[in-house]
Amino acid sequence: MRADRLIAIILLLQNNERMTTRELAKELEVTERTIHRDMEALSAAGIPVLAERGKFGGWKLLENYRTNLTGLKAAEIKSLLLSPSSQHLADLGISNEWKEARQKLLAAIPAPMKEDVIDISNRIHIDTGTWRQTPQEMKSLGILQQAVWEEKKLHIHYENADKQTSERTVEPLGLVAKGNTWYLVAASDEKIKTYRISRIVDAKLINENFSWPNNFDLADYWQESKQRFISSLPRFEVDAEISPAILQRINFTGRFVQVLHMDSLKENGWIPVTFSFDTEQEAREYILGFGNQIKIVHPVFLRKSVREMAEGVVDLYKENEE
């Protein structure tokens, strides 16, 4: 990529003070003619490259010239310019700081590279939210950030899933955003736990530092914790056959159902599918929602419960008609 080569020339001249056309061509694995064209491009872009003739001549940069992006290639700069989730930046209260930092980075990019990287925000946009987001109140996020940065203990009031509130003192180790939900990872009673921030009713900073756990890595902890959570989730598997008419809808299953396996169309005109649900209740409701387009193969007892649900629906509407 030419932009990478142009910045490589600047860095080579910056680190070696002077290099000949032949040396540059050999280093960059291009022809000497290509090097001459690159030098013309750099000069036209305002980079002060000078050619000195003679036995000890060669190309050099104007004295005291230094690029502000030493060692960065075009692809690396692009990765830095990728916009993170705007919602996450807003949650953390650093949207303006990120915008200012981005402008400073853009200003520091040498002119030959700008055309390649400056438009990246119009090419790639990252949105971590869901289509229908439920607003989550996170009163304590600011003080949690402060505690994480300053390694100060916290006293929190935490609401459990059953709506019961408890108090505890924790040692905050980090914040994690999963989709549009924020979590606090903290040590408590010599155990590392995860707390959903929207359930932290109140948090107060304690003016007391704590010792960082040996060899703790936030990303590793989160990955292991996530895998343990997934493994602990209940699973209710159903072997079924579906009508080809609902194939496209099946391909867009919801968060509580997964398609584990799907075979090709059988001679009887149905497609064998293995579903995985969190619970039997979710399996019954999901299958019933497709009417006569899904046939249960296994477990057999599920057929009876789905039929009973269907009969209950029929009876309900019969009552309304009378």
CA distances from 273 to 235, 268, 310 (A): 16, 14, 22
Is residue 70 pLDDT above 60, yes or no? no
- Inform me whether the pLDDT recorded for 193 exceeds 90: yes
Q: What is the pLDDT of residues 136-183, one digit of tens each?
A: 678 889 999 999 999 999 999 999 878 899 999 999 999 999 888 899
User: 134 in a domain, yes or no?
Assistant: no
pLDDT at 269 exceeding the cut of 70: yes
Mean pLDDT of the chain: 84
Which run of H or E residues covers position 102?
Answer: helix 95-108
Q: Give domain status of residue 9, yes or no.
A: yes
pLDDT at 302: 94
Residues 121, 153 within the same domain: no
Q: Which residue has the tokens 């039997």?
A: 280
- Look at 4 and 279; give whichever has higher pLDDT: 279
Predicted confidence at residue 112, as pLDDT, reads 63
The whole-number pLDDT of residue 158 equals 94
Q: Which of 128, 155, 189 is the last residue of a domain?
A: 128
* E runs forming strands in the chain: 18-19, 49-52, 58-61, 152-159, 165-178, 181-188, 191-196, 200-209, 236-242, 257-262, 271-277, 294-298
Give the lowest-confidence range in 133-137, 232-236, 298-302: 133-137
What is the C-alpha to C-alpha distance for residues 302 and 284, in angstroms, rounded to an integer?
7
CATH code assigned at 287: 3.30.70
Q: Which of 67-81, 87-101, 221-235, 272-286 has the lowest mean pLDDT?
A: 67-81
| Position 102 in a domain | yes
pLDDT band at 53 (very low <50, low <70, confident <90, very high): confident
Residues 195 and 274 grouped into a single domain: no
Domain count, the chain: 3
Flag whether 121 is in a domain: yes
**182 with 240, same domain?**
no
Q: What is the mean pLDDT of the segment spanning 75-99? A: 82
Instruction: Clarify whether residues 7 and 107 are in a common domain.
Output: yes
**Who contacts 31 (Cβ-Cβ below 8 Å, separation ≥6)?**
25
Mean pLDDT confidence for 113-126: 71
Question: With contact defined as beta carbons under 8 Å apart, do 40 and 63 qualify?
Answer: no
Is 287 part of a structural domain of the chain?
yes
Range 103-130 average pLDDT: 71
